[in-house]
Homo-oligomer: A and B are copies of this chain.
């Protein structure tokens, strides 16, 4: 396959070659290669989600390795399952590929998909591969399952609930900044944040702890905290107060922000693609959940409260400003969405 293009190998033989290596966990009755895959039905509720990544909008092939791209395409869907308190089960992958693309690139992309599948315990069981007249397009659809009593939506937040985030914020935005801005950046910090953008970590264990621990509303942080709070707030019919200086920001993000002359709270408040979770927790369940997260070794930080009013930030010096849903522009070439 070395040196050949997608057109040269042919999409169908190429995918047959590549998918032979995919892991095949126990839930798979019939995997890649038939009209549809056949699986054992998972226990509880069936979850279903999908995400489409478009070259020039969500990624550039030069930003990371093709393996990282494959990994991310699956990881962002796993994050959606985590945000329901669920467990991933099986995925299908559609690829639109320009004929001139190197076959090795597609093989590496699938290696990344398989690495993510093994890591998150799910099966890649099929897909579709088609020609693209333009950009590479990757679509992953993922099934998962959850305890019927513990599916956590965006709709259950109530005034008085405490707002928590898992993991940290702003690292993916800092990574995207580095990838878009050639220059001499502090090397260690730059490598850290780039990796966070290129290989985000879905918070499956955090989602399960929150579902079991009685979170009232839950979503993943794909579009930036400000946007997610607006979406969750609108779904629940509530508002919120966020305390920006409480947002968990790791040292490499501060280093890059300082070097770039960027306000680190901008990245923490509006930077997307961190793929931690945003959770609303009634005060009487908060300390038990904090203990669970401490035992699991997962950062879990209280950053605000749900209110009956609008969306605000309140700063340490007492300033009060609207929480602006800046939305997350994937990068400067973005046309929205």
Q: Could you tell me which A residues sit within 8 Å of B by CB distance?
A: 7, 10-12, 29-30, 33-58, 79-81, 83-84, 86, 90, 92-99, 125-135, 137, 139, 141-146, 151, 153-155, 218-220, 235, 333-337
Q: How many identical chains are in the complex?
A: 2
Contacts of A12 in B (CB 8 A): 337
Instruction: Tell me if A129 and B39 are in contact (CB < 8 A).
Output: no
A127 to chain B, nearest CB (A): 6
User: A38-B146, A84-B34, A153-B34 known; A92 and B336 CB under 8 Å?
Assistant: no
Instruction: Tell me if B41 and A45 are in contact (CB < 8 A).
Output: yes
A94 to chain B, nearest CB (A): 4
Q: Lowest 4 A-B CB distances belong to which pairs?
A: A141-B141, A134-B134, A36-B49, A35-B83
Contacts of A54 in B (CB 8 A): 96, 130-133, 137
A289 to chain B, nearest CB (A): 19
* Sample of 18 further A-B pairs with CB below 8 A, known A33-B235, A35-B220, A48-B125: A35-B83, A35-B154, A36-B49, A36-B84, A37-B49, A41-B43, A46-B46, A46-B90, A49-B92, A50-B128, A50-B141, A51-B94, A57-B132, A131-B334, A131-B337, A132-B135, A133-B135, A133-B333
Instruction: Tell me if B139 and A94 are in contact (CB < 8 A).
Output: yes
Contacts of A134 in B (CB 8 A): 133-135
